[in-house]
Chain A
Amino acid sequence: METLPKKGPYRQALAAIRRINQSRIFIISFGIVIIILLIWRIVVVARQTPFPPQYWAFQIINGLVLGGVYALVALGYTMVYGILFMINFAHGEVMMMGGFAGFFTLQLLTTLGWTEGSPYLSALSILLVIAAGMIVSVLTGVALERIAYRPLRTAPRLVPLISAIGASFFLQYSALRIFGVTPHNYRKPELISGGWAIGETGIFVTRTGVFIFVTSILMMIGLFLIVKRSKMGRAMRAVAEDKEIASLMGVDIDKVIAFTFALGSALAGAGGVMFGFHNTVMRFNTGFIPGLKAFTAAVLGGIGNIPGAMFGSLLLGVIEALGPSALGVPTEYKDVIAFSILVLVLIFRPTGLLGEVLTEKKA
């Protein structure tokens, strides 16, 4: 070692490389290889089977709509994580319960004849369906927090996670028993079926899609205002920052956490109804995979970060819609693509796309 000169470009470069963690270099090169392979594959597929631009536009619109639904669910994950640092594994089931409540309300209103004919009555019934979904989800979410999570607040992290897994199974299979195995089909009101063709471009936009996207965006704006402007929102941010100090400042921690669950569950309930309108079918396990995806989206955007969850969800929706055709693989691979994107993002930005650098305590 002493024989080498102390200075000089070669020596400096060597030292710089040594300073970076060796495993980090390996990981990054691994990621770069994967990205090169992906781009190569996309180019090859694009040259073999060129889709018309309308197709891509249509897929992007689809992706944004699905992303809007994911965002409603992802926000609940991210808010709970931001405050308690736990994965609320049962959040997808909270969404499912909202979806069921919405379904039965819709059935009732259809029998009463509200959903056809008068557009005002129809709009009112859609609002009622969403409200029913939100109310049931809030009740489920708050009960969940009270029974399954609150007694475990000081326990090591694995304990509430297992409790959440248990609650998730409990809710899923209770729903299976109580509501039966037959799939429940959402019947869309006339107001939100059909769609518009945009000019001569050949792009078709469904009314359901527009409705879902607009409602999701409105709800997200509402949430943003609550968190940023209201007193409770300020308390939430304070608790997320530091529970002990917040409680010293007179914030009622239990109340704030219950409120966070209620807020997240309300969005999830709306998400459940949207998912019902989007997928038309509601089953006991409908919440599971979307819940997983929404969590992925929240991690993608940087968990604990509200704009990150919105951005991550929209991005995930678009990637899922475009991925299979861009890579020339069957659509069954869309889940593989979603999870692979998650892994890739975490390799390069372990904190997510918009995430702050979490301290040891939070990570």
Chain B
Amino acid sequence: MYLKDGIRGGLITFGIILFLNLLGLPLTAESSIVPIFTVLVGLFALLLLRSRAGQERSLLNASVNGLLIGIINGIGLVIVTYIFARMQANAIRVNQVFAQILPEHTGALAGLTKAEVLAGESIWPGMTKIAVLFAIAGLVGGASIRFFTEKGRKRMDSISASSFGHYTVLILPLVFFALFLSLRIKGVKIGGAEENILGLLLIFLFVSAALFALRAARPGKEQIALSIVFLILLVAIPQLTDLFQNAVLGAVAIFVVMGVGLNVVVGYAGLLNLGYVAFFGIGAYTFGLLSAPESYVLVTLPAFNGVTFWIGLPIAILVGVITGILLVIPVLSMRGDYLAIVTLGFGEIIRLLLLNLRDYTGGPGGVLNIPSPIVFGVDFGNPKGILYLGIIFSGIVAFITIRLRDSRLGRSWIALREDEDVAQAMGINLVAVKLLAFATGAAFAAGAGALYASRQVNIFPDNFSLLVSIDVLCLIIIGGLGSIEGIVLGSIALIGLPEILRSVNEYRIVAFGALLVLMMILRPEGLLPSVRHQRELRGEEMTEPVTSSD
């Protein structure tokens, strides 16, 4: 009987529970904190005790170790809460160091009110309950390991490989869409006030499931039929959604355009660019300065007045490409991390210039009142119109990227990524190929920027901080580097989901950081990886040629 795993697991779990306490989770969750912690303890017992390859844990061993994890957590939390409760009862303000440890926090754990905690009411009844619950959760979590053995895993695999599993994957997106439609029927009330959030979630699920279904479908008729069905549904979505849902989906679409652009630079050519937001900002500001009535350009050069979306957009893209090329020429000979840090510097320089060149860019005041895009006399200046433009933009850039990837240029990029010296020896003009990669990326980002500017109406330098670059980089990596479907999925996960999780917004970035680390450890190839990247990261040899569907 080895208790080492139980003690180790208990200490790890308690570290996490303590951290969540310091973050102030009990303050946010209030009375539901006890069930949340209990479930967490059970889950961690399950995860930490799961059997490694070749050595199955006996039921007794797993249960005892699980119980140990539960008991350690129970005792630990009781001790910590007792210390904090005593300090608060003695009017020591713990929250001067740990801002979230307020009397309400202790109260939520022990089931008391703020006044009772301050009066020094006993915490034992509440804490004993927690300790017992933790012990039970640990025991159950440890014991349920029996359901997650090799045999069970194999059964799951055989289900998903069967034709039943295959058709389930294909039908699933339609199920989500039908559920979404059922929300629209008058009289049906699911989700109450949160109905639009639920609807948005269903749309995200539909799009994600559709991407997986397209990947799973057999090439040929099946794939074509599915694509047509999904395309029709996708075009129908903006008609069925409300203002809020359209606004969120519009942001997702804009980030898809940016992601596709950065994917060319990072995913295909392997040039790490951390200053990608610079081109996004340049596109947005060029467009804004050309079309906003009070901007510097329009005030000094009235001839530009009346610049429409169709004229402003190509100019924005052109300016983006030119600055992209100019910025990159001096750093062409650098590789790897030097390139990353220099591009990061460029991103910051552009933002600081936007902020400080007050006379031209409006400084912190930004560019205001950018007119809405009017295309063929139709006003696209509402969330629905922006969403349509976003979908069209994404479609265009995805098409261009796929065609480029399968061209001679795309193969040169991939060769460049694999080995620069060998690529040069094979007669690839490194300078031209790198410049084209950066220029393509900059063009897409500038286009996305122009769309963003007309979506936001008012733009400010702070919209173009380093965080945007990092968001875009993370979304293409989470989705799967080099895979266009992955970018859509990543954009939904990183840009769309946080909107749904508004209520836990304060924990968003903490969770996001932890997820990035976990994801890199557990699944570095991304959620929906390209075949080539997956093999590379899994260390497999390329035994068969990669088809162009990656």
Contacts and interface: CB of A to CB of B under 8 A. Distances in A.
Chains A and B form a bound pair: yes
Interface string B91-124: 0000111111000000000000000000000000
A162 B329 contact: no
B477 A174 contact: no
Contact of A160 (B96, B330, B513, B520): B520
Interface in A115-161: 147-148, 151-152, 155-161
B481 A342 contact: no
Contacts of A148: 517, 520-521
B340 A87 contact: yes
B342 A346 contact: yes
Contacts of B330: 27, 30-31, 343, 347
Interface stretch (B143-151, B351-359, B397-405): B351-359
Given A162-B474, A179-B99, A347-B330, A363 B336 contact: yes
B80 interface: no
B431 interface: yes
A167 to B, nearest CB: 6
B356 A299 contact: no
Contact of B346 (A160, A161, A339): A339
A161 B273 CA distance: 12
Nearest to B353: A336
Contact of B510 (A26, A162, A174, A180): A174
B43 interface: no
Contacts of B519: 166
B334 interface: yes
A179 B348 CA distance: 28
A170 interface: yes
A216 to B, nearest CB: 23
A299 B272 contact: no
Nearest to B22: A178
Contacts, number: 163
A165 interface: yes
B352 A177 contact: no
B345 interface: yes
B515 interface: yes
Interface residues of B, number: 57
Contacts of B421: 360
B341 A87 contact: yes
Contacts of A339: 345-346, 348-349
A178 to B, nearest CB: 5
Given A160-B520, A339-B349, A346 B513 contact: no
Contacts of B100: 177-178, 180
Given A177-B506, A177-B510, A178-B98, A152 B520 contact: yes
B516 A346 contact: no
Given A163-B516, A350-B338, A158 B348 contact: no
Nearest to B533: A156
Contacts of B24: 177-178
A169 interface: yes
B517 A166 contact: yes
Interface in B304-347: 329-338, 340-342, 344-346
A340 interface: yes
Interface in A179-194: 179-182
B513 A158 contact: no
Contacts of A226: none
Nearest to B98: A178
B509 interface: yes
A8 interface: no
A159 B520 contact: yes
A333 B348 CA distance: 11
B483 to A, nearest CB: 14
B282 to A, nearest CB: 16
B366 interface: no
B334 A152 contact: no
A170 B513 contact: yes
Contacts of B344: 292
B356 A333 contact: yes
A168 interface: yes
B244 interface: no
Nearest to A341: B345
A180 B329 contact: no
Given A165-B470, A170-B510, A336-B349, A177 B23 contact: yes
A208 interface: no
Interface in A54-86: 81, 85-86
Contacts of B356: 330, 332-333, 336
Given A177-B506, A177-B510, A299-B338, A165 B22 contact: no
A157 B338 contact: no
Nearest to B420: A360
20 contacts: A27-B330, A30-B329, A86-B337, A87-B340, A107-B96, A151-B521, A155-B520, A155-B537, A157-B337, A158-B266, A161-B272, A166-B512, A168-B513, A169-B509, A169-B510, A177-B24, A295-B341, A332-B356, A335-B352, A346-B331
Given A181-B99, A342-B342, 15 more contacts: A24-B333, A27-B333, A31-B330, A148-B520, A156-B524, A156-B536, A166-B513, A170-B514, A177-B23, A336-B352, A340-B345, A340-B349, A346-B334, A347-B330, A363-B338
Interface of A: 23-24, 26-27, 30-31, 81, 85-87, 104, 107, 147-148, 151-152, 155-163, 165-174, 177-182, 292, 295-296, 299, 303, 330, 332-333, 335-336, 339-340, 342-343, 346-347, 350, 360, 363
